[in-house]
Amino acid sequence: MSTFDPEPKSDSVRIIPLGGLGEFGKNMMVYESADAIFVIDTGVMFPEEDMPGIDVVIPNISYLLDNQTKVKGIILSHGHEDHIGALPYILRQINVPVYGTRLTLGLAENKLREHRLHNQTDLRVIDDESVIEMGSFRLEFVHLCHSIPDAIGVVIHSPAGVLLHMTDFKFDAHPADGRLTDEARLRQLGDAGVRMLLSDSTNAEVAGFTPSEQELERVLDDLIGRAQGRVIIATFASNISRVQQVINVANRHGRKVGVTGRSMVNNTKMAIELGYLQAPPDGLLTADQMNYLPPERVVIVCTGSQGEPTSALVRMSRGQYRHLRLGKGDTVIISAAPIPGNEKMIHHTLDDLFRLGADILYDELFDVHVSGHGSRSDMKHMLELTRPQHVVPIHGEYRQLVLHARLAEETGIPAEKITIIENGQTLEVGPDWVMPDEVVASGRVFVDGLGVGDVGSVVLRDRRHLARDGFLVVIIGLDQENGEVILGPEILSRGFVYMAESEMLIEEAKEVVWDVLERQETAADVADGLHAALGDYCYRTTGRRPMIMPLVVEL
Amino acid sequence: MSTFDPEPKSDSVRIIPLGGLGEFGKNMMVYESADAIFVIDTGVMFPEEDMPGIDVVIPNISYLLDNQTKVKGIILSHGHEDHIGALPYILRQINVPVYGTRLTLGLAENKLREHRLHNQTDLRVIDDESVIEMGSFRLEFVHLCHSIPDAIGVVIHSPAGVLLHMTDFKFDAHPADGRLTDEARLRQLGDAGVRMLLSDSTNAEVAGFTPSEQELERVLDDLIGRAQGRVIIATFASNISRVQQVINVANRHGRKVGVTGRSMVNNTKMAIELGYLQAPPDGLLTADQMNYLPPERVVIVCTGSQGEPTSALVRMSRGQYRHLRLGKGDTVIISAAPIPGNEKMIHHTLDDLFRLGADILYDELFDVHVSGHGSRSDMKHMLELTRPQHVVPIHGEYRQLVLHARLAEETGIPAEKITIIENGQTLEVGPDWVMPDEVVASGRVFVDGLGVGDVGSVVLRDRRHLARDGFLVVIIGLDQENGEVILGPEILSRGFVYMAESEMLIEEAKEVVWDVLERQETAADVADGLHAALGDYCYRTTGRRPMIMPLVVEL
């Protein structure tokens, strides 16, 4: 298998992860047969600390572009950002039909509208009775419980047998919308024979079953029942299930619910229209009502659970939210787990809320959130229902994939039938073998403003350098006749020292420039000399290494 | 109390927090009477995400500098960075005697040596039998259990009564060094009457008592007993107690212990010399022995529990550690809680370790750490032992101070006798009153390379701007006679676009420059016009806002 065939054989399938395996977010999986390619999910990833200025990170899809004519469509498993966020960027590069359940497509359409792509996209609604044929693939869908309604797993009838792509799921006996993960169907598939299970690894570090949404509803009931003033509940904008729970509980306690935060309002509106969210009989509160109704009649659901600077909750915490002033007597509930990397922002928000005198309930104090992802026992249950020949852990950082693999081994699946692959690592599934094959182009494409992919490692390296120590530009004009200095040295600098109080340092730097000018002849030599001498000077005097850029021109 | 008297009255004391209240790290408290000032702790804080290029953050001590002649000394409560890290920077500004226990001063001296200040510092050893007089203050010391040996609390006999400054502590019945928090003494002080308790709030979010170090020793015993290959344990370099536990446990299992990571080696060596760490009978392993002894005979304690890029563990995880190649069969134990903000770095390190095939035990999977800080029940026990009239929560972010205050209220202390103050907020303790007074200069002083305090909000704002969108410098030389352009336009840019592939954009930007030149007359007008026009052009074409710096010179 050392040479990479241009396509899989007619009895084989190639699986190509382009995102989400071995890193957080950005889920994207490609399935390829001899005659067709389809994609499951098009997620974004949020930039990490070492990617300054980047808005979002999307998968590299050059493999799809190289095989463009074979690509039949994109399946969206559910409406979360790490599964649909890159859709507009992907569709701009490769416009194919997009399949998803009604709610998922509703969320996707909101997103496409923002990018003005909704009129040119072929959106096709599916449900758990749909069957799609794509070349030699036949796809069916299984309902899964998750922290958003209308999530599906994909049953892939392929030339190499049945592959199950089980994205984010949990087994919840009492989900907010009453629809269970379809265990009977999964068991039936297991009875008929599953060639390979690809299954969510997110919570591979968490023991037991993930608690039911019902338990959370009980907690919310207790907290809202006891609260004296207003109750503010922050969660993810896409967490439609949580909004439903709040509406249910608030109603029981004679409170009315308002929703705030742009994305949350949009999602809620759409979910009500599509019938995925049962609005209260008298509708949701308007902004005015939130403020003027007696506090004990009000519950507000809002964005900001991750401390996002422009979110409703963060503006409330800083007293900058027009519609609502929080204070003593109000109760704030943070009903979401911190995404790794957001802890500091969340802590600052909590501190600000405490300063306002409100009561705050958050995960360090109280269980006011349940995960949408199944824990180890859920993962094990999925393995037991489907009894696959082969297992590939998907969705998770590397350690979670490994822990999931070890769990699969514990359930009796032989180690050699469990394969860990990371983004770009293709896996061939043949009639009687499963083998890793070539590594294809994959990885991170940076979106920065209007640019998609133009900012790469060089620009980011420069940004990190500038962030650390700033820059120093020195400009010199030499007389092209006699080499005399007729312009400068002029020095421009930012981010290095406080210029208003660094006259001496700048004057001394100019002395360094004159020294170099005396020693060097040509403009190029001067530029090189300046780079070295100014670098030394800055480091010696400040311990910093600004980016030095000499511009020597002959006039 | 609206006017701020230059000094407290002879029967009063002023308490001035300069660090550690309402934010993480950087602990520093000032006590002032009519005739003396002393300081407890001189901590550093590690820079947050919005402080690019900053090495460490130290407290602003202008209040001490303004009252220099009154400052009698600095007491160090224990040897952790957030209590001693700023010492060299503070002593350079104000050289006063430094008091601490032997181990604490040993750690402080290591630090002063790095800064070449050890020969000019007056270090004075204290223990829990010492008494120090400073003007009208008489200070005594109480042994406290913490995650480092030789920690003390300070008993302040003052004109306003007895104030207890109880820095980081827990009640541990079986600490690694066998020395308990001195409960009898605390109870005695309570019997005699405590005017005010200032007490650690770090774990105010955590219920119950913090588990004993002994429980952790049991866990380590179990894990090391079961391990087949080498065992690598990562923890903080200052966690001398953890090193002792590992030595004890390793010895029982016939394993030898090596220590690696520069700061850990230094601290261990010093602690053995001073008798705070009982070395194994045959000494510690050398680097060579770590590598060549049979794996089942080796335990290695190292730095890197926070994923610090240059630490021993991180280098091991990347296969870049000369002395040791990790792989299948090795067990890595991360015995430290993540400091908020470090989660991503830790996760990346864990992923790399999993890639090497090692077994990894870390806090998401297993309790392989106990906190050095008392939890809510410890905090309550401290309140019950000392029965203070007044309480001031110290050491903690704002929410932790509030939670500690509420806990104190639950134990029966009236709300009006519990005061939350933040950095800079002075508190006056008189004979029969306690009142907040003026706010003095406090806050963050940034250390960047050799500069202490020269980088402030302007430079940081520029660095953040440069990090996000880079810069674009445009240089034009005008003939001073006729206004003709004789130099440029030259454009220098970094961090904005990838210059090697942006020729078109740069050419168009030059067109924008020519447009401005046609419309404007004077050099100043040209500069202004360029700023606006190039800013617009960049945003329109890229959606980015680089820092625009025009330089227009007349030649």
Q: Would you kindly state where each structural domain of chain B is located, as residue ranges?
A: 13-208+371-442, 219-361, 457-554
Is the CB of residue A182 less than 8 Å from the CB of residue A190? Answer: no
Nearest to A372 by CA among A83, A16, A76: A83
CB contact under 8 A, A555 and B487: yes
The pLDDT tens digits for B412-431 are 999 999 999 999 999 999 98
The number of beta carbons lying within 10 Å of the beta carbon of residue B120 is 10
Which residues of chain B make contact with A355, given a CB cutoff of 8 A?
A: 398
Residues of chain B neighbouring A448 (CB-CB closer than 8 A):
542-544
Question: Is A297 in CB contact (< 8 Å) with chain B?
Answer: no
Say what the pTM is: 0.91
- Tens-place pLDDT, residues A370-412: 999 999 999 999 999 999 999 999 999 999 999 999 999 999 9
Whether A490 and chain B come into contact, CB under 8 Å, resolves to yes
CA gyration radius for chain A? 28
Which pLDDT value is given to residue A389? 97
Active site residues of B: 200, 373
Nearest by Cα to A39 from A10, A15, A66, A11: A15
From the list A459, A468, A487, the residue facing B555 with the nearest CB is A487
Question: Which of B353, B463, B555 comes nearest A466 by C-beta?
Answer: B463
- Taking an 8 Å cut-off on Cβ atoms, the answer to whether B471 and A494 are in contact is yes
Closest CA to A85 of A19, A167, A165: A19
- For the stretch B22-36, pLDDT in tens is 777 789 999 999 999
Query: Is the CB of B365 inside 8 Å of chain A's CB atoms?
Result: yes
- Determine whether the interchain pair B543/A351 forms a contact, defined as Cβ–Cβ distance below 8 Å: no
Mean predicted confidence (pLDDT) in B176-204: 95
Q: So what's the pLDDT on residue A49?
A: 85
Q: Mind giving me the DSSP string for A162-216?
A: EEEEE-S-B--SS-TTSPPP-HHHHHHHHHH-EEEEEEE-TTTTS-SPPPPHHHH
Q: Which residue of B has its CA nearest to A405?
A: B354
Interface of B with A in 13-42 (CB under 8 A): 22
Contact B475 A449 (CB under 8 A): no
Taking CB atoms and an 8 Å cut-off, how many pairs form between chains A and B? 192
Which residues in chain B have Cβ-Cβ distances shorter than 8 Å to A363? Answer: none
Mean pLDDT on A315-337: 91
Checking if the pLDDT of B534 tops 80, the result is yes
Region B10-31 average pLDDT: 90
Of A83, A373, A381, A390, the active-site residue reads: A373
Q: Which of 44-73 (B) contact A at CB < 8 A?
A: 48-49, 52-53
Q: Considering only CA atoms, give the Rg of chain B.
A: 28
B179 min Cα distance to partner chain A (Å): 31
How far apart are the C-alpha atoms of A261 and A265, rounded to whole Å? 6
From residue A384, give the alpha-carbon distance in Å to each of A198, A407, A510. 13, 12, 74
Taking alpha carbons only, the member of A439, A436, A434 closest to residue A424 is A439
Domain topology for B457-554: Ubiquitin-like (UB roll) (3.10.20)
Interchain CB contact of B497 with A (< 8 Å): yes
The reply to whether residue B467 touches residue A462, judged by beta carbons under 8 angstroms, is no
Burial tier of B208 (Cβ tally within 10 Å: 0-12, 13-18, 19+):
exposed
B39 HSE (CA, 13 A, CB side)? 31
CA distance B208 to B99: 33
State which residue of chain B sits closest to A540, comparing Cα positions: B450
Facing residue for A473 by CB, picked from B462, B473, B542 = B473
Give the integer Cα–Cα distance in Å for B35 and B41: 20
Distance from CA of B286 to the nearest CA of A (A): 31
Query: Which contiguous run of DSSP H or E holds residue B463?
Result: helix B457-469
Q: Which residue of B205, B450, B466 is in closest CB contact with A365?
A: B205
Q: In this predicted model, what pLDDT tens digit does every residue of A178-198 receive, in sequence order?
A: 899 999 999 999 999 999 999
Chain A residues within 8 A of B52 when measuring between CB atoms: 467-468
What digits encode the pLDDT tens for the residues B435-482?
999 999 998 999 999 999 999 999 999 999 999 999 999 999 888 888
Q: Does the beta-carbon distance from B487 to A487 stay under 8 Å?
A: yes
> Would you state the pLDDT for residue A4?
61
**Between the CA of residue B490 and those of A247, A322, A484, B336, B505, what are the distances in Å?**
61, 47, 20, 53, 13
What does the pLDDT average to over B274-295? Answer: 87
Question: Is the Cβ pair B490, A22 closer than 8 Å?
Answer: no
Q: Where are the beta strands (DSSP E) in A20-130?
A: 21-22, 28-32, 37-40, 56-59, 71-75, 98-100, 123-125
Query: B7: pLDDT confidence band, cut at 50, 70 and 90?
Result: confident
Alpha-carbon torsion B103, B107, B110, B111, what sign? negative
Cβ distance A459 to B497 less than 8 Å, yes or no, reads yes
Q: What percent of chain A has pLDDT over 90?
A: 77
Under DSSP, the state recorded for A103 is H
Q: What is the pLDDT of residue B68?
A: 94
| Confidence at residue B4, expressed as pLDDT on a 0 to 100 scale | 60
- B13-208+371-442 CATH: 3.60.15.10
| Strand B37-40, strand B71-75: pairing | parallel
Positive or negative, the Cα torsion across A236, A240, A243, A245? negative
**Percent above pLDDT 90 for chain B:** 77
Q: Where are the alpha helices (DSSP H) in B179-261?
A: 183-192, 213-226, 240-252
pLDDT score at B1: 36
Has residue B3 got a pLDDT over 70? no
- Rounded to the nearest angstrom, the minimum Cα separation between A308 and chain B is 14
- Quick one: pLDDT band at residue A3, thresholds 50, 70, 90? very low
Burial B233-268 (b: 16+ CB within 10 A, else e): bbbbbbbbbbbbbbbbbbbebebbbbbbbebbbbbb
User: Does the beta-carbon distance from B48 to A344 stay under 8 Å?
Assistant: yes
A308 touches chain B (CB under 8 A): no
Instruction: Give me chain B's average pLDDT, please.
Output: 92
- How far apart CA A466 and CA B207 sit, in angstroms, is 44
Task: With a cut of 90, say whether residue B531 has pLDDT above it.
Answer: yes
Residue B289 has pLDDT above 90, yes or no: no
From the list B350, B502, B549, which residue is nearest A399 (CB)? Answer: B350
Please determine, for residue B263, whether its predicted confidence score (pLDDT) is greater than 60.
yes
A115/B contact by beta carbon, under 8 A:
no
DSSP sequence for B242-269: HHHHHHHHHHHTT-EEEEESHHHHHHHH
Nearest one of A24, A43, A31 to A392, comparing CA atoms: A31
Look at residue B450 in the predicted model and tell me its pLDDT: 93
CB contact under 8 A, A467 and B467: yes
> What angle is formed at CA B126 by the lines to CA B125 and CA B132, rounded to 5 degrees?
115
Distance in angstroms (rounded) separating the CA atoms of residues A178 and A378: 18
- Residue B290: pLDDT band (50, 70, 90) is confident
Q: What is the pLDDT of residues B54-74, one digit of tens each?
A: 999 999 999 999 999 999 999
Assigned architecture for domain A219-361? 3-Layer(aba) Sandwich (3.40)
* pLDDT tens-digit series, residues B106-143: 999 989 999 999 899 999 999 999 999 999 999 999 99
Residue A93 pLDDT: 94
pLDDT band at A8 (very low <50, low <70, confident <90, very high): confident
Over residues A440-495, the pLDDT tens digits come to 999 899 999 999 999 999 999 999 999 999 999 999 988 888 888 888 899 999 99
| Residue of B23, B54, B354, B364 for testing the chain A interface, max A β-carbons within 10 Å | B354
- How high is the mean pLDDT of chain A? 93
Are B157 and B137 spatial neighbours (Cβ–Cβ below 8 Å)? Answer: yes
pLDDT interval class at B360 (50, 70, 90): very high
Helix (H) / strand (E) element for A249: namely helix A240-252
Alpha helices in B300-367 (DSSP H): 312-317, 343-355
Distance from B469 to chain A by nearest Cα, in Å? 6
Nearest to B347 among A397, A494, A497 (CB): A397
pLDDT for residue B539 is more than 90:
yes
Nearest-CA distance A45 → chain B (Å) = 14
Q: Find the CB nearest B454 among A456, A477, A497.
A: A497
Residue B494 one-letter amino acid? R
* CB-CB under 8 Å, A402 with B553: no
Residue A349 near residue A313 (C-beta atoms within 8 A): yes
CB contacts of A453 in chain B (<8 Å) are none
pLDDT at A1 over 60: no
Residue with tokens 């440069």, as numbered in its chain: B466
Among the options A82, A168, A182, A200, which is catalytic?
A: A200
- Strands B13-19, B28-32: pairing is antiparallel
Work out the average pLDDT over A39-51. 92
B329 at the A interface (CB within 8 A)? Answer: no
Which candidate from A340, A350, A487 shows the least CB-CB separation from B553?
A487
DSSP string across B440-459: PS-SEEEEETTEES---HHH
Q: Angle at Cα B525 formed by Cα B521 and Cα B531, nearest 5°? A: 130
ipTM score for this prediction: 0.90
Instruction: Supply angle C-alpha A349, A354, A356, rounded to 5.
Output: 100
For an interface test with A, the pick among B346, B446, B463, B484 (most A C-beta atoms closer than 10 Å) comes out as B463
Report the chain A residue with the minimal C-alpha distance to residue B344: A341
- Find the angle CA(B255)-CA(B257)-CA(B262) to the nearest 5 degrees: 160
Determine the 3-state secondary structure of A472 from DSSP.
strand
Per-residue pLDDT tens digits for A243-299: 999 999 999 999 999 999 888 999 999 999 999 999 887 889 988 888 889 999 999
CB A96 within 8 A of CB A90: no
The span from the CA of B107 to the CA of B266, in Å, is 9
pLDDT, tens digit (0-9, with 9 covering 90-100), for B319-344:
998 878 899 999 999 999 888 888 88
Q: Which amino acid is at A50?
A: D
